[in-house]
Amino acid sequence: MSVPRRPLIAGNWKMNGLRADGGSLASGLSDLMKNKTDAVFDLAVCPPFTLIAAVGDALAGSAISLGAQDCHPAENGAYTGDVSAAMLADLGCDFVIVGHSERRTNHEETDTAVQAKAAAVQAQGMAAIICIGETEEQRDGGKTLDVVKSQLAGSVPEPSAAANTVIAYEPIWAIGTGRTPSTDEVREVHALIRAELTAALGAEEAVGVRVLYGGSMNPENAGDLLALEDVDGGLIGGASLTAEDFWAIAQSCV
C-alpha cells in the first residue's frame, strides 16, 4: 500500500555552533536546497536557541524548515532560563524536538513532562518531534518493544494528528556511538510504533504520522535505513553538522 508520507530529514545540532558556524551551515544547505527543485524529502534543522533567529534568516526563501530542540510546556511566566513554544513559533519554527534521550537523562524528563511539552508545541501550530528509545540494557534484556510502547503511550498527547506529530525512534545506545540496530531490528520497532499509533489515533491519522529513525545515521548507512517500510526519514545528530554529510543523507531518500 502506498502511503502519503514524505520523508523528513531533521538535523539536531545539539549544543554546537556559534553564529558564524550556524550561518554558514544554514546558507550552504539553503543553496543546495534551492538548486534541488525535485526534492522528494523535507529538510529541517534544529539549531540551539541562540542560533534560531540567525539560521532562520539564512534559510529565508528556501524550503528548509526551522526547528528547536526543546521547550517549556507553559506559554509564559516565571521560568528563568526556559523558552516557551510560543516564543519558538514566533521565531518561525515549524518543529520542536521533545523528549530527546539527552533531555530525559540529563534533566530527568519523564513521559508526562514530554507529553506536556509536545502538547504545548502542537497548541502553537507546530509539530512535535517526540523522541523515544531503549537503553542498551533494555535491548539486551529483550525489553525494547515494551519500553517503546510505554514511552509512546506516555509521551504522545491526546489528541494528536499527523500534521502536528512526528515520532523519532532513537535507541539510546546508538546515539553518537557509530553503532546502529540491524535493519530487521529497526523494521520491527517501526512496525510496532505504527501499530500503536493506529490504535491510539485511528488508522486515518496514524498512516500520515512520520516515524523517523535516529542514532548514528550517516551517508553510508542512510540508504538501507531510509528504504525500510515505516521509516519516514531520520533525526540526525553528528552528521547534521556538515552540509555535505547531511545533504548526502537526504539524497538517500527514495
Can you name the residues that pair with 211 across neighbouring β-strands? 167
175 contributes a contact to ligand PEP by CB under 6 A: yes
Residue pair 120/72 in contact (Cβ under 8 Å)? The answer is: yes
Residue pair 14/43 in contact (Cβ under 8 Å)? The answer is: no
237 contributes a contact to ligand PEP by CB under 6 A: yes
* Residue 209 to residue 194: CA distance in whole angstroms: 8
Cell, residue 174: 546508538
Q: Which residue has the cell 528548509?
A: 64
Residue pair 7/226 in contact (Cβ under 8 Å)? The answer is: yes
Cell, residue 141: 534484556
Minimum CB distance to ligand PEP smaller for 104 or for 201: 104
* Residue 181 to residue 139: CA distance in whole angstroms: 10
Q: Whole-number minimum distance, CB 37 to ligand PEP, in Å?
A: 28
73 contributes a contact to ligand PEP by CB under 6 A: no
Q: Whole-number minimum distance, CB 218 to ligand PEP, in Å?
A: 8
100 catalytic per annotation: yes
Q: Whole-number minimum distance, CB 119 to ligand PEP, in Å?
A: 21
Helices (H), 11-64: 19-34, 52-59
**Furthest CA-CA distance within the chain:** 49
Residue nearest to ligand PEP (CB): 237
Minimum CB distance to ligand PEP smaller for 132 or for 236: 236
Stretch that binds ligand PEP, among 32-40, 87-95, 105-113, 236-244 (CB under 6 A): 236-244
Q: Whole-number minimum distance, CB 194 to ligand PEP, in Å?
A: 20
72 catalytic per annotation: no
Minimum CB distance to ligand PEP smaller for 23 or for 219: 219
170 contributes a contact to ligand PEP by CB under 6 A: yes
* Residue 45 to residue 68: CA distance in whole angstroms: 8
The length of the chain, given as a count of residues: 254
Stretch that binds ligand PEP, among 78-86, 118-126, 142-150, 215-223 (CB under 6 A): 215-223
Of the residues 100, 109, 190, 196, which is catalytic?
100
* Residue 80 to residue 116: CA distance in whole angstroms: 18
Stretch that binds ligand PEP, among 66-74, 108-116, 141-149, 230-238 (CB under 6 A): 230-238
Q: Which residues bind ligand PEP (CB under 6 A)?
A: 12, 170, 175-176, 214-217, 235-239
Catalytic residues: 100, 170
